[in-house]
Amino acid sequence: MSTTVSRSKSEGENVADSSAPPPSYNESGAAKGRGEVETVSLEDDIDTGDSIYQKKAHVLNEALQEVGMGRYQWALFVVTGFGYFADNLWPIVTGLILSPTVNEFNFNGPFLKLGQNIGLLIGAAFWGVGADIWGRKISFNLTLLITGVFAIASGGSPNFIVLTAMASVWSIGVGGNLPVDSAIFLEFVPGTHQYLLTVLSIWWAFGQLFASLVAWPLIGNFSCASAADCPRSSNQGWRYFMYTMGGLMLVLWFIRFFIFTLYESPKFLMGKGRDEAAVDVVHRVAKRNGRESALTVEKLRGLGMYGASENGNRGGGEEGAEAKDYATTGSAVRRTLAVVDTNHVKPLFATRKLAYSTTLLIVLWALIGLAFPLYNSFVTFYLATRGADFGDGSVYITYRNQVILSAIGVPGALLAGYMVELPVLGRRGTLSIFTFLTGVFILASTTARTSDALLGWNCAYSFTSNIMYGVLYAITPELFPTKDRGTGNALTATANRVFGVMAPIIALYANLTTSVPIFIAGAIFLLAGVVALALPYESRGKASL
């Protein structure tokens, strides 16, 4: 699946010319000869209002293409996949423990989801914006640690207040995974393999499947049958489950922190005026891949100075002086305070077309942020209720069905990776079609009159929604420039979480045994499908900025 687009090129054109698009490369990363196809960058479509940044980003895209898709990027596919894995696992975890914790603590279940969604909201805003201020590495190395520690602690909760508080805190860690991890992977992968950002969502599907598989025996066999008689000693399943999931997060964090070495994003470094550090990272990645890079500091600096130096000044100054000041207490305070400014927000609305794109992405994430948890976070409760009507509402059957639904979603990520490269569909077409179909299948599920029919409709929904999310998680960071990508991801994720907070509030006042929440969720997905088609940029076949 090549992401190159053919364009004629004259023999006399200088490849090193910063104003010209970079050359295309074979799958192995070897440069093609003159007169052959060349990579088209999103620079040709998206005007960020800063020509120096765009030229330098172009040169770095060329360098990463020269380095090729090698050992470092494939390892990155795994460790950033952990973040996708956690992002879907933990909302599912909260849904899976909902029934047994309500039986034991006798509280209104949506309050647990509300606490979780507030934590996800804080995490999405904090880690995403922070990634553009202090870099990707800090966020990458802390999110899973926070999640694991507080998830394990939640297993000892004596009441629902403590459990909800723990869910809020572990969700602060969870909320930072997607905004940061999608940016990290995109900023190291060569343009020819950018479709892998869509395939990366297979980890998202694995998260749901893994949680369901572990919950099935633990919660299914060690839980109370009802709230009428549910002492702690007879309801240990959900606690075992939390210890297991929290422990898994610590294992994944250990792999990230102690085994894998993450380099800071070269485009992030370039955007901070640290050209020498950016070049050094490219050469380190090349070495890991068994290759060499022709990129030099002079080549970047020859395009002009870009970005605020770490001492707060625009351009100028020696990089060594900048690095020295970077370590001072005053600089650390200024970087922290910079989180609340708009330096990374304004560029996302620099031109009318870019502002339109950013706004539609925010709206799209907001709509899905309301519809998805309104339906999916309560799917086990809904299935159990409808199953009881059909005579098969046991705990065992409920969690068996959840495993089936989770397994159906896995091939969706692979299909998404193929479809986004089809010329007729691309990112926008695929996203629109499968968002719309997700709404259709949700609405169709209300017609089920047997347990098998209900499960069948939900399987179809699980399949299409996984394709939808796979494309959404790819196209969003692709349409933001690297220097502001963390903030852009944070804005969309925050919109998603703000409306996610509304879902349990609606659930508190709605009767979940009826089809009303399902109709609302389905209609919102239909609307989101139309919004997706209105996105002004198509990133298929174009390297991100």
DSSP one-letter string for 289-335: TT------HHHHHTT---SB-TTS-BS-S-HHHHHHHHTSHHHHHHH
Q: Which residue has the tokens 């598989």?
A: 213
What is the C-alpha to C-alpha distance for residues 216 and 395, in angstroms, rounded to an integer? 9
Q: Which residue has the tokens 């800063």?
A: 50
Query: What is the rounded average pLDDT of the residues 262-283?
Result: 90
pLDDT given for residue 179 in this prediction: 84
pLDDT at 6 over 90: no
What is the C-alpha to C-alpha distance for residues 79 and 525, in angstroms, rounded to an integer? 31
Phi and psi at 75, nearest 5°, equal -65, -40
Q: Please tell me the least confidently modeled range out of 446-460, 502-516, 524-538.
A: 502-516
Query: What is the rounded average pLDDT of the residues 246-262?
Result: 96
Residue with the larger pLDDT of the pair 484 and 387: 484
**pLDDT digit string (tens) for 300-355?**
888 877 654 433 333 433 444 444 443 344 444 444 444 444 566 887 888 888 89
**pLDDT digit string (tens) for 470-529?**
899 888 888 887 777 878 888 888 898 888 888 777 767 766 566 677 788 889 999 999
pLDDT given for residue 545 in this prediction: 57
pLDDT at 9 over 70: no
DSSP one-letter string for 386-410: HHHHHT---HHHHHHHHHHHHHHHH
pLDDT given for residue 447 in this prediction: 79
Residue with the larger pLDDT of the pair 413 and 461: 461
pLDDT at 204 over 70: yes
pLDDT at 57 over 50: yes
Q: Measure Cα distances from 370 to 91, 278, 488 in Å.
A: 13, 39, 19
Phi and psi at 314, nearest 5°, equal -85, 125
pLDDT at 380 over 90: no
Give the DSSP H/E element, type plus range, for residue 543.
strand 542-543
Mean pLDDT highest for which of 3-7, 80-84, 138-142, 265-269? 80-84
Q: Please tell me the least confidently modeled range out of 68-72, 301-305, 374-378, 467-471.
A: 374-378
Nearest to 258 by CA among 139, 137, 141, 83: 141
This model's pTM is above 0.95: no
Mean pLDDT highest for which of 47-56, 328-337, 399-408? 399-408
Q: How many CA atoms within 13 Å lie on the side-chain side of 289? A: 26
Residue with the larger pLDDT of the pair 509 and 215: 215
pLDDT at 68 over 60: yes
Q: Which residue has the tokens 């509280």?
A: 107
pLDDT given for residue 489 in this prediction: 84
